[in-house]
Structure 1
Amino acid sequence: MLGLLHPTDPAWVDTVEGELGRLLDDHAHCELKAAQSALSIVGRWGGAHPELVAPLVALAKEEMEHFEAVLAHATAHGVRLNPPAPDDYVLALQAATKREASDVPRLLDRLLVSALIEARSCE
């Protein structure tokens, strides 16, 4: 389904079984942040780039459906959401983007960073 290049290490599964609550909490926040990011791009650049609005709103809806599904699993396991921890990987990607005067490079950087984060979520 995901087309991963390598199988999941069985040791990862063993680790997660003992930390299911942390996994569900982190996964829920990842889905929520993905929806927030899509809507943030719409809010900042939707007026100048209306062709992005519908696809990003659809993406935000899809990510919220994922969030709801993960939240249902978390609730079923007695897991409550905690405040999200800072994500060093995302912060490093954002810091690596150029700070141009024009909004177009910033938008492209934001879209590329979002795509990298989404692609890495399949690992």
Structure 2
Amino acid sequence: MALQRGDLDLATARCEEGYEASARVRDAAYLFPYVLTGVRAHLARSGSTAAREWLERSGELIGERGIPGTLGCLEHARGLVHLHEGQTGKARDELARAAAFWQGRRRFWEGAAALLD
């Protein structure tokens, strides 16, 4: 909600809280929704360097845990970073893979977001 209101500081702070809680127990089940929100907030707040750093940190936990229904957020987030950097071909490929992933998992909201992005 903070991101939607444009409160980028609060949005990134909430994502960091989610990351810290997950990192303490080396789990990612509750972290994956924060990955995209964090990337979006960092891109809007300070650009792709911060977004890439966030994606690397949070993505490490997602990848380490490997919960099948969460892995699509990484492609989706990479697509957003590529798009922000003007790498439209890479962005299109990542976002298409993310959309297919979410569709295969019947995750309508995430799939719609990937298609919109």
Both structures adopt the same fold (TM-score exceeding 0.5): no
TM-score (norm 2): 0.31
TM-score (norm 1): 0.30
Which structure has more relative contact order (CA 8 Å, sep 6+)? It is 1
Higher fraction of helix? 2
